Amino acid sequence: MKLYYSPGACSLASHIVLEEAGATYEVERADIRAKKTAGGADFTAISPRGAVPVLVLEGGEVLTEGVAIMQYVMDSAKPGALPAVGTLQRARLQEALNFISTEVHKTYSPFFRGLEGAAREAQLALLNGRLALIEGRLADGRDYLLGAAFTPADAYLFTVTNWSKGIGHDLSAFPKLEALRARIAARPAVTAAMKAEGLI
């Protein structure tokens, strides 16, 4: 398998999950603005959307969208590590992944287009509201987002909340989230993926 990524982008979550699964894979950096890979290929020929992550499978099939990639990787490289399809626990994982994708990830996105003034303050309030929901979920003392076990939802949440630093957003109002982030950051797979992307 081959993962196309952009350092620190949402593709980091897929990179972390590949490490967590012990998968055999390679990576190649993609410049999502220039639409070129590190090797000089046209990235839109690999993924017409020109966005990361992109996972090219052994047979040449191309899989996009991090939520799909992360579940596919765990199910195929480490069978049984995720809750079984059709169980409530699997639905809870998909619930968490979709919340992060649609409500958290997409709430960070406007900051990268240069929000200022009242528009920035309104977006910060929206982001803080989303993160407050996660803080509340962690109030029962659970180790990870879904309970005792690390899942792809943790990798995704860690990745997108990393963006707070870059946009000047203080996470100190969310101590349980910060503690979760510290636990995730300490995982060897996270360290390996971040080192590979030049982030640490």
C-alpha to C-alpha distance for 192 and 87, rounded to whole angstroms: 31
pLDDT tens digits for 134-160?
Answer: 999 999 999 999 999 999 999 999 999
H/E stretch holding 90: helix 88-99
- Complete domains list, the chain, with CATH: 2-80+189-196 (3.40.30.10), 88-187 (1.20.1050.10)
| Mean pLDDT on 158-186 | 98
**Which pLDDT score is estimated for 12?**
98
| 185 Ramachandran zone, left/alpha/beta (phi>0; psi -120 to 50) | alpha
4 phi and psi, to 5 degrees?
A: -95, 130
**Which pLDDT score is estimated for 81?**
95
**Which pLDDT score is estimated for 94?**
97
**Which pLDDT score is estimated for 138?**
98
pLDDT tens digits for 88-113?
Answer: 999 999 999 999 999 999 999 999 99
